[in-house]
Every structure is written in structure tokens, then in C-alpha cells.
Amino acid sequence: MTRIIVVEDDIGQLEELVSFLEYSKHEVRGVADGKELESCISQFSPEIVLLDYYLPGENGATLAEQLRERFGISIGIVMVTALNRGVDRIECRRAGADDYLVKPINFNELLALIDNMSLRLDSSPLLPQSWQLLPARSALKPPGGLPHISLTNWELSLLKVMADACNQQADRNALIRALGKNPLYYDTRALEASISRLRRKLPSLDNGSNPLQAVRGIGYKFTQPLIVAH
């Protein structure tokens, strides 16, 4: 059994595809666009996503690119579309799609593709456990395929100082300077307020603790592997 999300805005085609895959003993969810896909992913961790190209809002190629950046090789992405030009196939593969099926779908071909892709995914390495700081997107990417966390410029600066510091531990003065302030005159309560807001954005670890911890008398430490992705 493979966990699959089908993204298709044609309700008739969506219901037909979902019903067929469920009949074929797969666990399936159907959604109509990128917003519904995001909501579904947060509750149902897919192994494979089938994407139509023409969708309300962001098209399938854009969604494929976002999924590939977010999940790496740990997820299978298949474009399912009426488009059959070479330029369309190239666009979708460059966006991150593993394969490309042209409508009307040959269901036997689809099942064979899913079986082969599932074997590949079973042998893939686990998702990286590092948290990734993405300056170009002003975001923090947690491990395990969790959604990106949007950051303010100040929050981005604070985390970058910790990522670059020895043992990811930064003293208060270094953090204050990262905010463009002078430690001699800056009210440390403002730093504490910024750290507190940032901590509330971060998901808890398996043991219930926050990955951003205060170090008494020194400053703050990010307790999980944190890298700056360029």
C-alpha cells in the first residue's frame, strides 16, 4: 500500500482516479489545488503525489518544484496532464517531476509506475535531520518534511548567528550586533522578546522541548543541527 495524493481540479477525473487507486489497495487523498494540497500534506504524509498541470492558482510544475525543494528525493512526483509537447515534459522534469503521464491515463501503466516508484522510495535515505536556514526565502525548513517557517529579517539574522557560531551557541552581544544595535545601549529585554516570538514559531522536538534554548548567563543556543542553505 502506497500513500498517494492526487491533485486534479476536474472533479469527475479526480473521483475516478481516487476510486481506482483505492480499489488497487492504495491509501489515497484527492485535492483540487495547491492550497488543499498543503492542508492535506500536514495531516497525511504522502509517498507519491500525482499532479495535474493546469490548476487554480499555482500550476503543477510550480507545485512540483516546491515539493522537490521541500522533500528532496523522499517523495515521488508524477505529472498527469493532457499536455504532450516535448517542451512541457522538459519543464515538468526540470521542476522536479520523476515521471510524466499523458491523459487519458492508461491505468495499468499508472499502477506499474507507482510500483516501481515505491521500490525506489523504499531504498531512499531518510530525510535529513538538519534544520535548514533559507536566507533567499526568509524561511526556516525543519527536518521531516514539516512546512517552512516564515521569518522576519531580525529572526533570520539571529538564527544565522547561531548557525555560524561554535556549537551553535551565541552570546547576547553577538546577537544584538546581528540586529544592527550597539550592545552598550541596547535593552536586552527587546532581544528576549524577539527570541520569545521566534521560539513560538518553532515546532517542539520529540521530547517536547524547544530547539532554541537560553544558556544562563551567556545567550542562546540552537540545540539541533542548523545549516545555512545557499
Rounded mean pLDDT of 97-103?
89
Q: Are residues 75 and 141 in the same domain?
A: no
Q: Are residues 95 and 149 in the same domain?
A: no
Q: Which positions ≥6 away from 98 have C-beta within 8 Å?
A: 76, 77, 78, 117
**What's the distance, CA 222 to chain centroid?**
20
Residue 40 is part of which domain span? Answer: 3-122
Q: How many CB atoms lie within 10 A of CB 139?
A: 16
Pair 34, 55: CB distance under 8 Å: yes
CA 166/CA 171 separation, integer angstroms: 11
Q: Are residues 172 and 149 in the same domain?
A: yes
Q: Are residues 8 and 110 in the same domain?
A: yes
Pair 197, 134: CB distance under 8 Å: no
Q: Give helix 34-41 / helix 60-71 axis angle, nearest 10°.
A: 20
Q: Are residues 142 and 99 in the same domain?
A: no
Residue 171 — φ and ψ, nearest 5°? -80, 165
Q: How many domains does the chain have?
A: 2
**Considering the chain, what percentage of its residues have pLDDT values greater than 70?**
96
Q: Are residues 48 and 99 in the same domain?
A: yes
Rounded mean pLDDT of 208-214?
93
CA 230/CA 204 separation, integer angstroms: 25
Which position has the higher pLDDT, 65 or 70? 65
Which position has the higher pLDDT, 86 or 64? 64
Rounded mean pLDDT of 145-166?
90
Distances (CA, A) of 126 to 94, 102, 107, 122, 189: 23, 31, 30, 10, 40
Q: Are residues 38 and 106 in the same domain?
A: yes
What CATH number did the domain enclosing 45 receive?
Answer: 3.40.50.2300
What CATH number did the domain enclosing 161 receive?
Answer: 1.10.10.10
Q: Are residues 195 and 98 in the same domain?
A: no
- The set of cell numbers assigned to 169 is 551557541
Above 70 in pLDDT, residue 100?
yes
pLDDT digits (tens, 9 = 90+) for 84-96: 787 877 888 888 8
For strand 27-31 and strand 3-7, is the pairing parallel, antiparallel, or unpaired? parallel
**What's the distance, CA 30 to chain centroid?**
19
Helix (H) or strand (E) holding 164: helix 153-164
pLDDT at 230: 59
For strand 99-102 and strand 48-51, is the pairing parallel, antiparallel, or unpaired? unpaired
Q: Last residue of some domain: 77, 99, 122? A: 122
pLDDT at 122: 65
Q: Are residues 19 and 39 in the same domain?
A: yes
Q: Are residues 86 and 171 in the same domain?
A: no
Q: Are residues 17 and 89 in the same domain?
A: yes
pLDDT at 125: 47
Q: What is the pTM of this model?
A: 0.56
Q: Are residues 114 and 166 in the same domain?
A: no
